[in-house]
Amino acid sequence: MPSEIYSFDECSLLHLCNIRVPAHFEMFVGKKEILPRNHKRLSNLIHKLRTSGIDKYRFVPGNLEYNTVKVMNEIINDEGLQLHRISIKNLPNTFKSEINDQLEQFIDKITTEFKEIEKNKNIKAIKQAFIDNEKKLTREKNIPEDDDLEIISGYVRHAHDGRKKIVSEDEHFWGYAELILNNFDIEVIREREC
C-alpha cells in the first residue's frame, strides 16, 4: 500500500488546464494554446501519481470564483499580455473572460479524479501557531488567509497513517513549509519543485 498521499490547492489544479486560444485572439497571443505556470511539472506529477496508484486529493468547498480570477490574472501577466492596450475591436474583456470560463469548466471536468477533503472551520489553534512564528513573506501578507488555514485544519483531521503532502505555489504554504511540517505533519511541495 502506498504510504503517502498528495493534495493540491485549487490554484495548482487550475495550473493543470491547457487554455485553448480562440482563433480571433491568436494574433495577439502568438500561439494556439497557453499553459499556466508550472503546468508541465504538475502534469508529470499527476501522471506519476496515476501510474503509481497514489491517491490525489483536493479541498472542498472550493473557492473557485476567487481562484479562477487569480489564475487568469497570473496567466495574463506571465504571458506579458497588455490587454489595456488592445482596442475594443479586438475584444480584450472577452478574451479575459474566455480564459476564466475555460478554467471554470476545467475544474468541473477533473474533480472526479480527485478525492475530497473537507476544509475545517476550526482554525483558532492553527492560526495561533502562525502568529507565534510569524515570518516576513515577500509576495503575500505574513499570516495565511482563513481559507488556507481551513485547508490545513481539514488536512490535519483527515485520517491517514503515512505522509501527507500538499502541492501549492502559494507562499502562505511554501513560505511556512517547516512550520507546517513540524506542527501539523504535512509536507509542503512547492509547485516549481514538484
Partner 1 sequence: MILSKDEAICLVLELSRKNEVSSPTKLNKLLARLNLHLIPIDIEFRLNKFGSFNADVTSLEESEFFTIQEYEAYGKTVKKFILKPKGRDLAETAKKKVNKILADSEFESLKREIGNLSTLPASEISNEEHKKLLVDVETKFKLEQRLNENLCNMLDLYDKIDTIPENSSTEIKLKALIEYCYQLAKYLKEVRFRDIPEEYDYDAYMFDYYFIYIIHEMTSFLQEQMIAEKKNAIKINKYYQYMINSVKKTYPFSIENKDLKEILA
- The residue ranges that bind partner 1 (CB under 8 A) are 22-27, 64-66, 68-69, 72, 88-94, 96-98, 100-101, 104-105
Nearer to partner 1, 100 or 153 (CB): 100
User: CA nearest 167: which of 4, 1, 10, 23?
Assistant: 10
Smallest distance from the beta carbon of 74 to partner 1, in angstroms? 14
At a CB cut-off of 8 Å and minimum separation 6, what does 57 contact?
5, 6, 7, 8, 114, 115, 116, 117, 158
- Compare residues 96 and 163 and give the one whose CB is closer to partner 1: 96
Nearer to partner 1, 73 or 133 (CB): 73
3-state secondary structure 90-135: HCHHHHHHHHHHHHHHHHHHHHHHCEEEECCCCCHHHHHHHHHCCC
State the minimum distance, in angstroms, from the CB of residue 76 to partner 1. 11
75 or 126, CB closer to partner 1? 75
Residue carrying C-alpha cell 475544474: 107
Rounded Cα distance, 57 and 45, in Å: 13
Question: Residue 76's closest CA among 105, 107, 100?
Answer: 100
Q: How far is the CB of 31 from partner 1 (least distance, A)?
A: 13
CB of 94 to partner 1, least distance (A): 4
Give whichever of 24 and 121 is closer to partner 1, judged by the CB atom: 24
> Which grid cell is 127?
492560526
The nearest distance, CB 27 to partner 1, in angstroms, is: 7
